[in-house]
Amino acid sequence: MSSKWTAADVPDQSGRVAIITGANSGLGYDTAAVLAAKGAHVVLAVRNLDKGNEAADRIKKASPNAVVALQELDLTSLDSVRKAADALRTNYPRIDLLINNAGVMYVPTREVTKDGFEMQFGTNHLGHFALDGLLIDNLLGVEGSRVVTVSSVGHRILAKIHFDDLGWERGYNRIAAYGQSKLSNLLFTYELQRRLKAKGAPTIAVAAHPGFADTELMRHLPSFIPAALWKPITQPAEKGALGTLRAATDPTGQGGDYYGPDGVGEVKGNPKVVASSAQSHDADLQGRLWTVSEELTGVTFPV
């Protein structure tokens, strides 16, 4: 394997089932395209089925033998999450990769999900928490199975878990709210890994971040940050997706690994194991968030 890990290093994925949320564009699409090209049966779990079909067609055009399916999933609705999980559990008794990729970033004004959760926390963390809890049984018997969650360097920026006001009802700061959601992704990953290990399961939980990737998420960057300033330091989505791909497929990967770009400040580059904030490793915080997430979603994990 080269010292610079690339998509060429993804091993053969034949016979594996990969479910990817938000896979119709950006990082999710590029992750799906590579896994499908490597032989995985890829399920695009998407809110918009028309865009999902277009993405599936593009993947099949590039890789004529690709096996791509669609599943409607709206992470802003626990009802939709439950319906999607029911269908996925039935259709895929064996799941090898569950990739929590979908997300929203820097939503300009406070919005809530269909269940009343602040949009970034509800979509990026709670929607995925519920989905994973409902699907994890289908991974637990599968050797080499992984839950991969996409976080962000934003987990360090103004980030803390506001347990006294998770919904930002007492004053909304979009950057801090995004930071809370991305810190939650890592707290979830590490707590899930601890539970999987305690159970002796063959499944591991890992995380990744794309650096500063030029995707649709950038549309909500504050207007005082002009594109001329951030465009030159971004990397294309397909490069940003490499962290997710390495987390999902590197045979040397360990539970609790966190992958990000190897360049200065982890802004861009090829993926390697990187460190996350001290706060993300706080076991008390991990356990407390887990308990609150179970209460808010009504979903408990069998681990």
Catalytic residue numbers read 178
- The whole-angstrom separation of Cα 248 and Cα 244 is 6
| Main-chain phi, psi angles of 148, to 5 degrees | -115, 125
Cα dihedral 272/27/293/95 (nearest 10): -80
